[in-house]
Chain A
């Protein structure tokens, strides 16, 4: 069974600075997807970034980038130039690839990030 672990329950960062959120996972699968979702106080789950395991290049979306280390089963999220609107809970998630996939996301427990002015 797959598991996702986020070891930082809470983090804070000053506005305009950079912060890195950690995520590790355990799987015997070779092909899979990894995601970071953001859940602001509105509670809606918003996709931040996606990584396909077969791609060696780290995904980037504007101020958000990941450090994907497949051998180490690590998937950290870096937020550059942090903004007040980045304040939210961040979830790391895993999904298997293949026809037997149900679209089931395995979530970590989340990291609450507060951006301070």
Chain B
């Protein structure tokens, strides 16, 4: 069966510091991968999606970037964090575009 893991689960970072959140999927090949962000008490917003290695599409302009160095690895990064980057970040995957999206456990980022 397929599994998705992301880490770290919780992160407290000072303003201006870099960020790296990692996500891996097991049990499938060539998944579509996504990064979502959830503001407190609200629904999710798609940040990035990837249909293959090195292929990244951004949904909203922001202080973050994403990379996919391997087929089942997806990384969310920032060179300099802003206070507004605080939130709950979820990695997700699907088998094909249009298929059901499954989420990881999430990473809670607090920028101080």
Contacts and interface: CB of A to CB of B under 8 A. Distances in A.
A47 B102 contact: yes
Q: How big is the A interface, by class?
A: 20 to 34
A101 B98 contact: yes
Contacts of A101: 97-98
A74 B46 CA distance: 23
A33 interface: yes
Contact of B100 (A4, A35, A91, A98): A35
A50 B92 CA distance: 16
A108 B43 contact: yes
Interface in A25-52: 33, 35, 37, 42-47, 50
Contact of B98 (A33, A45, A47, A108): A33
Interface stretch (B18-26, B61-69, B75-83, B104-112): B104-112
Nearest to A100: B97
B74 interface: no
A104 B98 contact: no
A107 B102 contact: no
A104 B45 CA distance: 9
User: Considering residues B32, B43, B88, B94, which has the most beta carbons from chain A within 10 angstroms of its beta carbon?
Assistant: B43
Query: Which 7 interchain pairs have the tightest Cβ spacing?
Result: A107-B43, A45-B103, A101-B98, A43-B106, A104-B46, A44-B105, A101-B97
17 contacts: A4-B43, A33-B98, A35-B100, A43-B88, A45-B90, A45-B92, A47-B101, A102-B97, A103-B34, A103-B49, A103-B98, A104-B46, A104-B49, A104-B59, A105-B44, A109-B42, A109-B43
Interface of A: 4, 33, 35, 37, 42-47, 50, 91, 93, 95-99, 101-105, 107-110
Interface of B: 32, 34, 36, 41-46, 49, 57, 59, 88, 90, 92, 94, 97-106, 108
